[in-house]
Amino acid sequence: MELLLPIEPLQPGRPRRVQLESALRDAVRGGRLAAGQRLPASRVLAGDLGVSRRLVVEVYTQLTAEGYLVSRPGSGTCVSDLPLPPAAGVPAALQPAEPPARWDMRPGIPALSAFPRSLWRRAWTAALGAAADSDLAYPDPAGHPQLRQVLAAYLRRVRGVDADPQRLLICAGFTQGLHLLAQTLHARGARTVALEDPGLPHRAPILRQAGLAVLPVPVDADGILVDRLPEQGVDAVLTTPAHQFPTGAIMAPARREAVLAWAGRCGAIVVEDDYDGEFRFDRRAVGCLQGRAPDRVVYLGSTSKSLAPAVRLGWLVTPAGLHAELLPNKFLADHGSPTLDQLALAHLVEAGDYDRHIRAARTRYRTARQALEQAITRHGVPLQLTGTPAGVQTLATQLDDTHPDQLTARARALGIAFDSITRYQLNPDANPRGVVIGYGNIAPHAIDEAIALLATVTDGPLGSA
């Protein structure tokens, strides 16, 4: 089969796989590759482009996972039949106060000692030196134009976001971003938001504070159960397709399709928390949901895991009509995020230091998760890690009869801090079996020490320790 693909020659100096993925993704979004169109065999396309067949196979696999392509027996790889929007014009949980643990394995905390202090200092100093006098005035509530421009390009490149700087708002982390969005949706007439159960415990209070009711929806190994979303009475759904917290589920392609279809039928908004989107270990991360439906999805991200929670910088990418409605709420909240910190982040991204830091962190967290898995096996602790290898924590299913609250209490008495699954359940489970263990902020040798000690209180069924 001969097909003229709308792909420019691959350019040197930029990863070829990234170029090919981006070109095919844009071609499908823009309608230049029609639904049902059969693509060339991987061997043929590789020969046409002068790349390896393996590279083309990896690109096809990635775009199939994102829902742009579909593999059909006897027909090869084709463009998905699902309706796709045209491309746009511009191509940790709240913790209660308690004494610090010797072995801090709480979920949601990155490697704080690995924060790139020297790079951040250099970026901040460069930002201060280059800042115009006007940059020292009250900030733009939407965010500094330079950071919005840089972030839009970064998010398009790394996460497949349909990001226009004019639809991007800088905020003080995910929490403020969700709060601003909840206020805005309520002002629009929204009254109920569905969210994943289990999930981060501070989300429901944020929504309720804005006057919204909360509908818990269960999750399984493929993500949120879309068939549990009512066809009426729900105005938005908050979901984490990249890496569900705390189960570690990656939203399956069919679920991604289903939640977008549900939102389209019901006129609802999908709020995408790109939790751990940059930290998948077993393969390249799947692109974000927002890139498939930018008119229906609000995308939220932050630097809380990629750099540190203390940086307090996050972002929302919104449908066109929603952005202007968010600005008054942002202005009233804090007038705008700190300009020099925004410019420092822009400098860090533009210099390539942010990408390098992410890659190093990904390696660090992969090693830490492996150390946790090996320690559990070595010391015979009755736990089994679940979910996709990604992020800075994992859900561990219990293989004995101990209640997770009791196990966490025993561990805390030994100086080991992690969480029971019950902390994250909106609808309590009658028979909970799981603990959520963080490995982001603890060294591999300390992980082994903690698990060895934990083994002393996990021998046998409930009551035998």
Residues 43-87: tens digit of each pLDDT:
888 888 888 898 888 888 888 877 788 887 777 898 887 655 444
CATH architecture of 116-354: 3-Layer(aba) Sandwich (3.40)
Q: Is 380 exposed, middle or buried (0-12, 13-18, 19+ CB in 10 A)?
A: exposed
Q: What is the pLDDT of residue 85?
A: 47
Strand order of the β-sheet with 419-420 is 383-385, 393-398, 435-438, 419-420
Q: Which of left, alpha, beta for 433 (phi over 0: left; psi -120 to 50: alpha)?
A: beta
Q: What is the DSSP string of 126-174?
A: HHHHH--GGGGSSPPTT--HHHHHHHHHHHHHHH-----GGGEEEESHH
Closest CA to 301 of 461, 155, 145: 155
Q: What is the pLDDT of residue 96?
A: 45
**Do 16-79 and 116-354 come out as alike in CATH topology?**
no
d(CA 418, CA 115): 22
Q: The tokens of 440 are what?
A: 């982001």
Annotation: CATH topology of 103-108+363-457: Aspartate Aminotransferase, domain 1 (3.90.1150)
Q: What is the DSSP string of 339-356?
A: HHHHHHHHHHHHTTHHHH
Q: Is 136 exposed, middle or buried (0-12, 13-18, 19+ CB in 10 A)?
A: exposed
Q: What is the pLDDT of residue 196?
A: 98
Q: What is the pLDDT of residue 122?
A: 97
What residues contact 42, with CB distance under 8 A and at least 6 apart?
53, 56, 57, 60, 77
Sign for the pseudo-dihedral over CA of 174, 175, 181, 185: positive
Is residue 148 within 8 A of residue 399, CB to CB? The reply is: no
Closest CA to 450 of 414, 404, 420: 414
Q: Quick check: bond before 246 cis, omega within 30?
A: yes
Q: What is the pLDDT of residue 93?
A: 41
- Classify domain 16-79 by CATH number: 1.10.10.10
- Residue-wise pLDDT for 372-406, tens only, equals 999 999 999 999 999 989 999 999 999 999 999 99
pLDDT along the chain (465 residues), means of 10: 58 74 83 84 85 88 81 81 49 50 95 97 97 96 98 96 97 97 97 97 94 96 97 97 95 97 98 91 84 97 96 97 96 96 98 96 96 97 94 95 94 96 92 96 97 87 35
Is residue 41 within 8 A of residue 53, CB to CB? The reply is: no
Q: How far apart are the first and last CA of the chain?
A: 67
Closest CA to 127 of 316, 420, 333, 345: 345
pTM of the model: 0.79
Is residue 407 within 8 A of residue 452, CB to CB? The reply is: no
- Residue-wise pLDDT for 129-165, tens only, equals 999 999 999 999 999 999 999 999 999 999 999 999 9
d(CA 203, CA 275): 13
What residue spans define the domains of the chain? 16-79, 103-108+363-457, 116-354
Closest CA to 304 of 217, 381, 379, 245: 245
Is residue 169 within 8 A of residue 325, CB to CB? The reply is: no
What residues contact 395, with CB distance under 8 A and at least 6 apart?
246, 247, 248, 385, 386, 387, 421, 434, 435, 436
